[in-house]
Chains A and B, each alone.
Chain A
Amino acid sequence: MLVSDVHFPKDLTEALDILRKRPGTLVYAGGTDILREQASRGLELPAELIYVRDLPELRRAGLTERFLEIGAAVTLSEILELGEAALPPLLAEAIRGVASPTIRNLATIGGNLASRSRFMDSWPALACLDALIELRDQGGATWMNVNRLVGADGRPAFPEGALLTRVRVPIERWDAWLLRKVGLSDYPAPETAVFAFSARAEKGILVEVRIAFAGESALRSQALESSLIGRSLPLSPRESSSIASEYRGLASEFGDNLSLQFGALVDGALGLLSR
């Protein structure tokens, strides 16, 4: 059993300083993903870790006209408590489906996005909403679209060495949205994934559509989305099922069940636009 060095920075500056001096230090907030599959009595933690859960800069949440900003160490429960007026329904629905209320009291949005092993429940919703994450390191701060957290192989590609500090969710009007968790399990398993969809229409023309699906891998196709934009609504059943099967083709690495479910969900979501 390796006993770790635990750093308790009192603010973000101190935290970044520690990360600069000791790159590779594990960032620890809620810890629910880090400790997810550890059954031994003693925790298995790396040699060094930095506890960021209480950093004041990571604990704020605020709403402006244009976006909702949430600190990385804000818990999933706290996000839900921001209320319907502040929270985009797609995101609220995604977070509501995570684990159980007690785990949501512990898990943070930053941790939910920073998982290295798979995509967690908030990613598809945030991807559809084109949310941005702020990454801080010795060079400064950059904002990155969450869609760039997906590697070329569809697997998580979280930038190493950077600290996720804030999430910024654009506030936009959506005419239709759908969020579905797939796989009858409240635990992130190979057969679970989350589907997110949002769309906007003007004068019967589809002007914006976003479709994201993620479990162990993630999928969002701007090419297919572009091919839908500009079409007049309602889409014909043939159009919907044609797009759905293209998506299904892209999703083959998810396995039989998930790719079939994904295709059906795309079809169903597009069907919402027909009403």
Chain B
Amino acid sequence: MVYVATVRSPSARGSIRSIRFPRLPAGYRSILPADIPGRNRIQSFGAEVPILAHDKVSYAGEPVALIAGPDPVLLEELAAATKVTCDEEEPYLNWESFSSDQVAVKRVAVVGDPDLAFSIAASVFEESYTSGAIEHYYSEPQGAAAAYDYDKIAVWSATQWPYHVRDSVALALGCRAEEVSVRPTRLGVHLDGKLWYPSLLACHAAIASIACGRPAKIVLTREEDFRFSPKRARSSVNVRAALGSSGLLSAMDVRIAINVGAYGPLAEEIVSQAVLACTGAYACPNLRVEGYAVVTNTLPAGAFGGLGASHSLFAVEAHANRMAAAAGEDPADWKSRNVLRKGSPLLTGEPMGEEVPYEAILSSLAAASDYRRKYACYELVRKRRSGRSDGPLRGIGLSFAYQGAGPFLSGDASNSYTVEATLDKDLKVRILTSAAGGAGLVMDVWRQSAAQILGVEIESVSIAVPDTDQVPDSGPSTLSRNVSVINRLVVRACEAVQKRRFRDPLPLTARSVYRVPKPIKWEGGQVSGSPFDTAAWAGAVVEVELDSWTMEPKPLGIWLCVDGGQVVSPERAAASLRSGVADALGACLCERFSPSEAAAPGSAYFRYGLLPLQALPPISIAFLPQGRRAPVKGIGELPFDTVPAAFLSALSQAADSSFSCLPVPYARIFGALETP
């Protein structure tokens, strides 16, 4: 077996002048773009990422060459001793304001007549909200292995999308897809950080394996993974909102800039989702929204606990709370007045098809957290406070948002996804889908669906390991798709089996195919489709206290109330949501990833850590009771969609200031509290 080490670009932008390897001992070899048998690129949702940068480099840390050999210790040294020199160019780093050649994707939508509405508005509020980058810190750092297995190339990869790995490796090796067999390894918690990058590493391993004629393995250390794998995209959302004299939202003008780093592999999806979510849970009859995926010469960036919606939901909720506070109104009432109702106009032009369970969620949250009384009390204290040490520095924030149907993955080849179900003679059911990796709790949803339809015990239903030789292509495994798309396919496949069951002998296998008909269409400023199809709704309340001496925010409590449709296992779902809340809180408090700091070796990596468990406040999760025919919904992203905005609003109240980015630097909190 050979291990593989990566040689990386020291420059953020430029052309490679030379790569000087140290003397490589016998059994070690370098691998350059010329050694790639097929095409030197990965295709990902319309963007192309080089497998090894050839001539041009686009971010510091970009792989430019590989070294393969038997001793990983020596390999690390050889890679470190390799000198890459570039003719540097001025890198594109600006993204909050950017030039047009940095725009990878632009999405625009206009509804009604926003200019008119702004001109006659009773009040207008404008603010920009920024979200920083976050490290996924998934359960396992990334890596891949590849080896010949008779007439195929076997690839081991921990990936959300085995078929993407397969197709990428086939393209890189110049062989047919059927000649590549992807064997997924355990995925753990991925937070959407393993959608396309595993395919890049799989290509590295496969190319090395072919070049050396041996099995090859590439494994990133945590440090390498931290510094060089994709992170959550940074975003800046400028919201301008107009209210009529009745306090109803009359218009919004939203500009979203998402820094997708170099290449921007998920740019289309992320910007689309962010734009679709730009009015949050509110009815807004006049709207202009522009969303930009901005390419910069930094680490490629993208998904984190969802693909784009959370950027907008954060901004809209923070803004709504601010508008309410400015008008001296409890945000709960502001939301009540403006929340979407059945028949409300949507940005897609169609009316909202279902009721939004805001009142029920608010009622549950208010009872559990004592939100109303606390908000009023903390507002009173805030207004009367004369200094830092005058009274407790507390705040409480409320947010309300949704998790939509999930990535539509528009722009990719087939848009056609398949799930297979088999009922065998022992009345055991097997479900075959490529989305099984990292699906966790959702697998129980699939098993429950199968069990109900086929009239068997849930224990008789198993989900096959998503080896591409065994399972059909159902697309990637993500929190929302696994419910909205995959579960439907499981249901249909099982129904098909059930239909034939008493006619035909067992074993019976059925496939269901779903051609996603480009559910959201963008055409010249018009959007059509149904973004709220099977949306799960949630509200969050976050209570925060600032330590009166150190000014450090201390969360006192977090309450989450979820309308998640049919929840198969409430206890496990609550556990999963609690860990999601803990993760979201980390992003609010102490997790800050700076691409420029991380590009250079140094303490940025060592300083990054998850929030210690003992710093967590009590977290309480409640589910709204559901009718018997409630649909199954994806709920895993809800903590990221709700907690940050509630936290920001709570912190703003506690510090008597208006913050608009997370985490808030202490100097800003001090500044806010020191000025009388």
Contacts and interface: CB of A to CB of B under 8 A. Distances in A.
A40 B80 contact: yes
A186 B601 contact: no
Interface in A169-187: 180, 182, 184-187
A10 B389 CA distance: 56
Nearest to B589: A184
Interface string B600-636: 0111011101001001000000000000000000000
Given A40-B76, A41-B76, A184-B589, A268 B670 contact: no
B411 to A, nearest CB: 38
Contacts of A37: 602-603, 606
Interface in A184-242: 184-187, 189, 191
B552 A189 contact: no
B552 A184 contact: yes
B150 interface: no
B607 A256 contact: no
Interface stretch (B22-30, B62-70, B279-287, B543-551): B543-551
Given A1-B77, A257-B666, A268 B603 contact: no
A193 to B, nearest CB: 10
B606 A260 contact: no
Nearest to A182: B550
B116 interface: no
B603 A185 contact: no
Nearest to A100: B612
Given A185-B609, A256-B670, A257-B667, A264 B550 contact: yes
A71 to B, nearest CB: 28
B551 A261 contact: yes
B607 A264 contact: no
B611 to A, nearest CB: 8
A139 interface: no
Given A261-B550, A264-B388, A39 B605 contact: yes
Contacts, number: 65
A93 interface: no
Contact of A256 (B73, B612, B667): B667
A191 B551 CA distance: 13
B354 interface: no
Dominant secondary structure of chain A at its interface with chain B:
loop
Interface residues of B, number: 30
A140 interface: no
Interface string A1-42: 100000000000000000000000000000000001101111
B283 to A, nearest CB: 39
A267 B390 CA distance: 13
B549 A261 contact: yes
Interface string B573-606: 0000000000000000110000000000111011
A184 B665 CA distance: 11
A262 B571 CA distance: 44
Interface in B651-676: 665-667, 670, 674
Interface in B221-261: 221, 223
Interface in A244-275: 256-257, 260-261, 264-265, 267-268
A96 B666 CA distance: 24
A102 B223 CA distance: 20
B550 to A, nearest CB: 5
Interface in B41-93: 72-73, 76-77, 80
A265 to B, nearest CB: 5
Contacts of A36: 606
Given A39-B221, A257-B667, A268-B549, A186 B73 contact: no
Highest count of chain A CB atoms <10 Å: which of B221, B549, B609: B549
Highest count of chain B CB atoms <10 Å: which of A41, A100, A267: A41
Interface residues of A, number: 24
Contacts of B388: 264
Nearest to B554: A184
Contacts of B605: 39
A39 B223 contact: yes
Nearest to B608: A187
Interface in B292-322: none
Contacts of B77: 1, 42
Contacts of B389: 267
Contacts of A184: 552, 589-590, 615
A115 to B, nearest CB: 14
A41 B73 contact: yes
A137 to B, nearest CB: 32
A42 B73 contact: yes
Contacts of A264: 388, 548-551
A265 B389 CA distance: 11
A2 to B, nearest CB: 11
A182 B551 CA distance: 9
A189 B607 contact: yes
Nearest to A189: B607
A180 B72 CA distance: 43
A258 B221 CA distance: 33
A180 B550 contact: yes
A42 B73 CA distance: 7
A267 B551 CA distance: 13
A168 B176 CA distance: 73
Nearest to A191: B666
A275 B670 CA distance: 26
A80 to B, nearest CB: 15
B609 A260 contact: no
Nearest to A260: B670
B654 to A, nearest CB: 15
Contacts of B548: 264, 268
A261 B669 CA distance: 11
Given A40-B76, A40-B80, A265 B670 contact: no
B296 to A, nearest CB: 25
Interface in A34-77: 36-37, 39-42
B388 to A, nearest CB: 7
A213 to B, nearest CB: 12
Given A257-B670, A268-B548, A41 B609 contact: no
Contacts of B666: 191, 257, 261
Nearest to B674: A260
Interface string B370-403: 0000000000000000001100000000000000
Contacts of B603: 37, 189
Contacts of B549: 180, 261, 264-265, 267-268
Contacts of A185: 590, 607, 609
Nearest to A256: B667
Contact of B609 (A1, A186, A265, A268): A186
A37 B604 CA distance: 10
B591 to A, nearest CB: 10
A102 B522 CA distance: 54
B266 to A, nearest CB: 28
A36 B602 CA distance: 11
A187 B612 CA distance: 11
A187 B608 CA distance: 8
A41 B667 contact: no
Given A184-B589, A184-B590, A260-B674, A265 B76 contact: no
A242 to B, nearest CB: 15
B145 to A, nearest CB: 19
Given A39-B601, A40-B80, A261-B670, 5 more contacts: A36-B606, A37-B606, A184-B589, A257-B667, A264-B388
What are the 9 A-B residue pairs with the smallest beta carbon separation, nearest first? Answer: A39-B223, A268-B549, A257-B666, A264-B549, A184-B590, A260-B670, A189-B607, A265-B549, A41-B76
Interface of B: 72-73, 76-77, 80, 221, 223, 388-389, 548-552, 589-590, 601-603, 605-607, 609, 612, 615, 665-667, 670, 674
26 contacts: A1-B77, A36-B606, A37-B603, A39-B223, A39-B601, A40-B80, A41-B76, A41-B221, A42-B76, A184-B552, A185-B607, A185-B609, A186-B612, A256-B667, A257-B666, A260-B667, A261-B549, A261-B551, A261-B666, A264-B388, A264-B548, A264-B549, A265-B549, A267-B389, A267-B549, A268-B548
